[in-house]
Structure formats: C-alpha cells, structure tokens
Amino acid sequence: MRWNKAFTQGDRNAPPGLFHASGCVRKAAIKGLLAFLAFGIMVDAAGTEKKISIYSPASNYSLSVMDFNGIEYVGLLEVLEPLGTVSGKAQGRQWKFRFQRREAEFTVGKARCKIGGKDFDLSGNFLLQNGRGLVPVTSLSTLLPHFGVAPITFHSSARRLFVGNAGTQFTAEMSKSTPPAVVLNFSAPVSPSISTEPGRLRMVFTRDPLALGGPQTLNFPDKTIPSATYDESNGAAEIVFTSSAPLMAKFSNNGRTITVAAPAQATPQAQTPAATPAPVVTNLPPGSPAATPVPTPAPSNPTSIPATAPRVFAVVDASHGGDERGAALTDRLPEKDVTLALARQLRQELQKRGLSVLMLRDADLNLGLEQRAATANAAHPAIYVCVHASSEGNGVRVYSPVLPPATPNRGVFVPWDTAQAAQMTRSDDVVNRIYGELQKRQLSVRTLSAPLRPLNNIATPVVAIEIAPRGPDVLDVASSSYEQMVASGVADALWQLQASRQGIQP
C-alpha cells in the first residue's frame, strides 16, 4: 500500500528504482510492479515459496526467489554477502555495487551492465526493489565469475549453485544385517530433514551440498527396501526410499553415515504360551502404511501389561525433531532437544533393569505421527512411552489418552483412530503407577487425560510424560539430574509392571 501511494503522489521518500521514471515509462513500471506484487501474493497463499541454494567452502545458504514477467530473480547482494565484503547503493536509475575490489554498475530496466569497466549482458532486465538489486537467476553462473567467484557449477532446473569444490558425495549399499538395511556413507557430515509417507522414507537435503555421482535410481536385492531415487528441486536434493514396511533412519559416524532399515526387533525376555490370533489395525488415514498386526489383550488381570510376549518391552518416543522444534522453552532451547535427552535417560534406566527398548528417534530428525504409531505397533511392545517438555507450570504431568467417538469394529480389524480402545484400562494403570513412583521421589506430579496423538493409534498400553521446571528457572527442565530422577521413577514403575506380568516379586 505504501508503494502505491508513492507512485501516485510522487513521494520524495519513495524507494529508488522503477518508480523514478515518468510518463508512459512510469505507468508501465507501475503496471509491471503491481503484477509482480500480485504474483507474490498468489505464491504466498499457495505456500510454495521458491528457493535457490548456494553451497561454497565458506558457507551454505538458501535465498528466496521472485518471479517477474516469467523470469526468476534473486538479490545479488544477498548472493555474494556470505562470500565476501559487499555494498550496494541506488542513485536514481543506477545501482552501484561493489564486491571485494570489483565494482559494477547496473541500470534499472536494462539487461546490460558494467563489471570492472567491461560490459556484461544479463539474461533479463535488472530490477530494483526497495533498494535491493535483483538479477535473473539464470545469469548467476556467468555473472559470478566476473566478480572472481569461480569455478561455478549451477543445476539450473533445481536452482542449486555450487562454488569451488563444494559438494558432498555419497554411496549406498545393502548390508547383510538382520533385518537388511541400506547404509549411506557421505563424504562430509549431513543433516537432512527426514519424513515418511506410506511406502516411502524421504530425506531432504537443503543445507547440505549433496551431489549425485552415479545413477538417479538405486536398486537393492531386498523386498522390504527394493529401491531408492535421487532428485533435486527448489534448492534442495532428496533421496526417497520405497519400502513395504515402516522404515527408520539412524545417524552414526558423526553424521557421515545414515542407516535405513525397518525397526530392529528385540528378543523376548521370557517364553510364553502361544497367543490367540492378533487383531490388525486398519481404517488407516488416507495413504497410511499397510495394516499392522498388534498384540491381543490378555482377557484376565486387566491392570497388568498383556501376557503375550512382546518383541520389545518399551517403545520410547522423543516427541518432535528435525524441522518440528516443538515449544520454544527459551530463545535457544527447543522442546525437541529436551525430549531427546529425557528419552535417552529413560532408555538407560530401563536397560539397567534388563528391559529392552526401541527408541523411535535417537537423532534430530522428522518423524510423522503415522510413522511413529505404525512403527510402535509393528514392534509389538509391552508399553509405549511418549515424552514431552514444557516451560509452563511446574513438575511432571502424566497423561492417559482420550479417544474420539468409536467406529464400528469389523471383526479382527481394529479401527486406526481408536486402536487404543481395548488398552485404556491398562494405560490408566500405567499412569497411576508412574504417578506413585514420582511422588516417592518428592516430585510435583499430576495425572491428566488428553487427546495426544499418536496415543490413540497404538494398540498397546500407552502413556505420555511431560516435564516442566521444578521451580522458576526454565533451564531446570534441561537439568540432567532432574531428567535422571524422572526417568528413574518412570523406569521403576514400568519394571513393576513387567515383574507383575511375569509373576516376579519386585
């Protein structure tokens, strides 16, 4: 709105650039810029912001890309600023620019410019937006060497620009482990965002200069993970694994190795008689993983864990992760970091008591709610524990699930949205036992019920633990001694349930 006023009233404080023309040129500029702004609004409404990623030995970064008259533009100062000393100044229709010791002059509405006193042609007219000099994206590969930035490798269709020797290579091979796994080895540490969808695990590399050194499709001699594909688009590279089962990714070797596999299953701790046929979770959300067998509840002793032997005793789920940071506990402390630390403490305490544990997230990666639930169901655990953190209130909150209205049960199939229904009594018992153990440690603790996903989708006893600071200091929530105290109490409560199931005196 402010720009329109500047155009129509000749505001002396209007930003320099296109709107300093007059007559028909000025009208054309107004019309063109309004079209530019309208297009930007449509892109924002659709939620599809265009990006260009630049990788160099000095820095890796992404910038927004704008469209004008069918040409993609990016700010030249923003492109070069991470690579050296830059300055830009508008003088009427001219834009004076300097990078390191090289000077350049651009003219609004003209494709020809001068760099170091020599003429150079852009692939589209130069634009000035609120003092920002915009150049066509397609000109970068030939423009930057004139400023001494070379060599340049530009993947134009994906808008990924590599400077110098920047580039991370990788190899992928199928291991002979059980279950089989695909091991990715990278030439430098990487930190992709990881998400899942039915039949796929997707790794998206935005900040990492990943570059393919072989074919785009990789085939593996395995029915569970038959193939993976590499692709680039919108400033990012991605590797997508196809699978017939839920997959998880595990980081190692300081971020240089990622292992992709179906969750490993622990050996049962005790042999038990064969159980009746297990029901199957179905009525999944659109495109969810295939129906997954889940344990059948024991018909007697409803306040103990089911008597069928689980493959894993506990599935521990550190909430959030990757791009999903969770609550901002402080300016520098996201919830995802606290939940991972507490989940690791709980794993350690459970393993001290001889209980097997599957961590759904043991690194900073994205996991969808459907993947969390499907993986937990596939592991057939005795208990599922979800971990949260908060800066509000004090002490520990222990949650039991709240189910939506039940849908009809179709024989042996358990509806996805209410898969927890048959386990509600056992879940309440877990909550009460944890409450008692935390009270013994003189911790402030409350029990609540809430519709926290993915609790409703899991067909085994579940509980959610949320820790808040013990006092006014928010950072107390990240105290290792506090987390260990909570983890120890939870582990003792779960050990009592396990001992009760096996008829052992705790």
Q: What is the pLDDT of residues 47-95, one digit of tens each?
A: 568 999 999 988 889 999 999 989 999 999 999 999 999 999 998 899 9
End-to-end CA distance of the chain: 71
By DSSP bridging, strand 86-91 and strand 94-99 are antiparallel
Roughly what angle, to the nearest 10 degrees, separates helices 2-9 and 23-46?
Answer: 170
Hey, which CATH number is domain 170-261, 2.60.120.260, 2.60.40.1080, 2.60.120.10, 2.60.40.3470? 2.60.40.3470
Q: What is the architecture of the domain spanning 49-163? A: 2-Layer Sandwich (3.30)
Residues in the chain, overall count: 506
Mean pLDDT computed over 168-187: 88
Q: Tell me the pLDDT tens digit for each residue of 240-296.
A: 999 988 888 888 888 889 999 886 543 333 333 333 334 444 434 434 433 334 333
Please compute Rg for the chain using Cα positions: 29
- Residue 273's closest CA among 229, 240, 230, 306? 306
- Please list the residue range(s) of the chain that carry CATH number 2.60.40.3470: 170-261
- Residue 107's closest CA among 34, 35, 25, 2? 25
Tell me the one-letter amino acid at 469.
P
- Please list the residue range(s) of the chain that carry CATH number 3.30.457.10: 49-163
Ramachandran category for residue 442: left, alpha or beta (phi over 0 → left; psi -120 to 50 → alpha)? left
- Tell me, what's the pLDDT at 357? 92
Contact, 86 vs 101, CB < 8 A?
no
- Please list the residue range(s) of the chain that carry CATH number 3.40.630.40: 280-502
Mean pLDDT computed over 224-245: 92
Q: What is the architecture of the domain spanning 280-502? A: 3-Layer(aba) Sandwich (3.40)
Per DSSP, 354 falls in state: T
The set of residues, in sequence order, having a beta carbon less than 8 Å from that of 157 and lying 6+ positions away, is: 232, 233
Inform me whether the pLDDT recorded for 102 exceeds 60.
yes
pTM of the model: 0.51
Q: Predicted confidence band at 29 (pLDDT cuts at 50, 70, 90)?
A: very low
